[in-house]
């Protein structure tokens, strides 16, 4: 009996070409491809609420908000992700070469689920920290009203601010205040996945 063949490994550029042809979304990490699963109602509602608030407050300025179908290419980590929401203000992300993947976000938002929370807080955050333009990383829980904001200080260190009982959270870069009532609007905390 022969040994099973190893799955083929992609380069990041091969992945980008391959992913453009796929019906489903896949993330890329170090030559491997991982299929994305669907999300719960609460997850999608929260992401849309945040993106909507950001879109409204950033309108007319140099920054733009993107939702889950826009790729984030992190060459320093040999990775491509689909953040739930991200904001970029960098002119390089407006070029034709950035039409399907951004590289220079200031803000990344991930809505946490039981299956992704440890990864989003740990290894994925480690990869995201390779992005020099990234200033804030927002982790939003979908099963309770709680948000963790990691902010990069002038010294390069990341500082955590937890928000639960507050009414709002201030994102210094890109200079937007998000209200928790708007973030969690239409979210039914009594509904849990089975």
Q: What does the alpha-carbon distance between residue 151 and residue 132 come to, in Å, rounded to a whole number?
A: 13
Kind of pairing, strands 71-74 and 101-102? Answer: parallel
| Tens digit of each residue's pLDDT (9 = 90 or more) over 63-94 | 999 998 999 999 999 999 999 999 999 999 99
Token code pair at residue 193: 């996945």
| Mean pLDDT in residue range 59-64 | 94
Q: How many Cα atoms within 13 Å fall on the side-chain side of residue 109?
A: 31
Could you tell me which residue, 193 or 160, shows the higher pLDDT? 160
Q: What does the alpha-carbon distance between residue 9 and residue 151 come to, in Å, rounded to a whole number?
A: 34
Sign (positive or negative) of CA dihedral 25, 29, 30, 35: negative
Query: Would the pTM count as exceeding 0.75?
Result: yes
Instruction: Name all domains of the chain by residue range, CATH numbers in brackets.
Output: 40-183 (3.90.1570.10)
| Mean pLDDT in residue range 129-150 | 95
Q: How far is CA 83 from the centre of its chain?
A: 2
| Mean pLDDT in residue range 112-131 | 94
Q: How many Cα atoms within 13 Å fall on the side-chain side of residue 8?
A: 6
Asked whether the predicted pLDDT for residue 159 surpasses 60, the reply is yes
Among residues 77, 87, 83, which one has the least CA distance to residue 112?
83
Asked whether the predicted pLDDT for residue 39 surpasses 50, the reply is yes
In the three-class reduction of DSSP (H, G, I as helix; E, B as strand; rest coil), residue 116 is classed as: coil
Task: Please list the helix, strand and coil fractions of the chain in percent, rounded to the nearest 5, in that order.
Answer: 25, 30, 45
Beta bridge partners of 105: 88
């Amino acid at each position: 009996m022969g040994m099973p063949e190893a799955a083929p490994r992609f380069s990041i550029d091969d992945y980008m070409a391959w992913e453009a042809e796929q019906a489903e979304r896949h993330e890329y990490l170090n030559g491997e491809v991982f299929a994305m699963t669907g999300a719960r109602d609460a997850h999608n509602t929260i992401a849309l609420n945040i993106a909507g608030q950001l879109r409204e407050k950033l309108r007319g300025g140099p920054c733009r908000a993107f939702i889950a179908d826009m790729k984030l290419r992190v060459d320093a980590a040999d990775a491509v992700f689909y953040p739930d929401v991200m904001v970029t203000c960098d002119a390089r992300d407006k070029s034709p070469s950035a039409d399907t993947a951004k590289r220079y976000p200031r803000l990344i938002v991930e809505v946490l689920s039981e299956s992704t929370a440890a990864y989003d807080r740990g290894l994925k955050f480690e990869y995201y920290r390779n992005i020099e333009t990234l200033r804030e990383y927002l982790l939003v829980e979908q099963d309770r009203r709680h948000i963790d904001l990691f902010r990069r200080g002038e010294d390069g260190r990341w500082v955590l601010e937890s928000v639960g009982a507050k009414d709002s959270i201030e994102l210094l870069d890109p200079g937007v205040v998000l209200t928790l009532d708007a973030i969690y609007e239409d979210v039914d905390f009594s509904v849990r996945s089975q």
